[in-house]
Chains A and B, each alone.
Chain A
Amino acid sequence: DIVMTQSHKFMSTSVGDRVSITCKASQDVSTAVAWYQQKPGQSPKLLIYWASTRHTGVPDRFTGSGSGTDYTLTISSVQAEDLALYYCQQHYSTPYTFGGGTKLEIK
């Protein structure tokens, strides 16, 4: 199975800051990476797929990038409502594994 590693379990940031959340795959996944946002008590929501394509309705402050084994989700100007858990997932080969999640905390 492909292991997706999000090395930061927590990240603390301030409103208006730029923040980058990273994800590393155990092998090349050819940009087949999606990012999800999960707020407390809610289902996950798709933000980005194919590493850099924004899902319908996602604000343009969310940007995905990366290739090979290394991927990044960047929020250009964090808003208070961005307080959430963020997960990466590879959709390259089954089982479609997820990273362990990064909790974004707003100072």
Chain B
Amino acid sequence: QVQLQQSGAELVKPGASVKLSCKASGYTFTSYYMYWVKQRPGQGLEWIGEINPSNGGTNFNEKFKSKATLTVDKSSSTAYMQLSSLTSEDSAVYYCTRSDGEGLDYWGQGTTLTVSS
């Protein structure tokens, strides 16, 4: 069965960077784009960007272009999102989710990021 297993909760200081992971299983990793979505407490969903695991090509929401870096490791079927220059505005739950262009059909359980000194 398809599973997206995300890394655990993070508590980081303002100004630092963090790298979140999403390990895929149960399907051919390179056959589906991986997306990342942000959800702040009590807020809606925000699309951060996407990566094509077959060639590493990325596409970002303009708002997150200087904030997020997306990479993959095909050998371990794992997608990564690095967030830099963290502020309190980056405190949120971050989801990885996959798509073949027909909606986001499977989601990870989410990683809670807290930015605090």
Contact = CB atoms under 8 A, between A and B. Distances in A.
Interface of A: 34, 36, 43-46, 48-50, 53, 55, 87, 89, 91, 94-101
Contact of A43 (B46, B62, B63, B107): B107
A25 to B, nearest CB: 15
A44 B104 contact: yes
B44 A44 contact: no
Contacts of A48: 103
A94 B50 CA distance: 10
Sorted from nearest, which 6 A-B pairs have the closest CB atoms?
A49-B103, A34-B103, A95-B61, A43-B107, A98-B45, A49-B102
Nearest to A90: B47
| Contact residues of A: prevailing secondary structure | loop
B110 A55 contact: no
A99 B44 contact: yes
Interface in B41-98: 44-47, 50, 59-63, 95, 97
A43 B61 contact: no
Contacts of B45: 36, 44, 87, 89, 98, 101
A45 B63 CA distance: 25
B14 interface: no
Nearest to A6: B44
Contact of A53 (B44, B101, B102): B102
Contacts of B61: 94-95
16 contacts: A43-B95, A43-B108, A44-B45, A46-B103, A49-B105, A50-B103, A87-B45, A91-B99, A91-B101, A91-B102, A91-B103, A95-B47, A98-B44, A98-B45, A99-B44, A101-B44
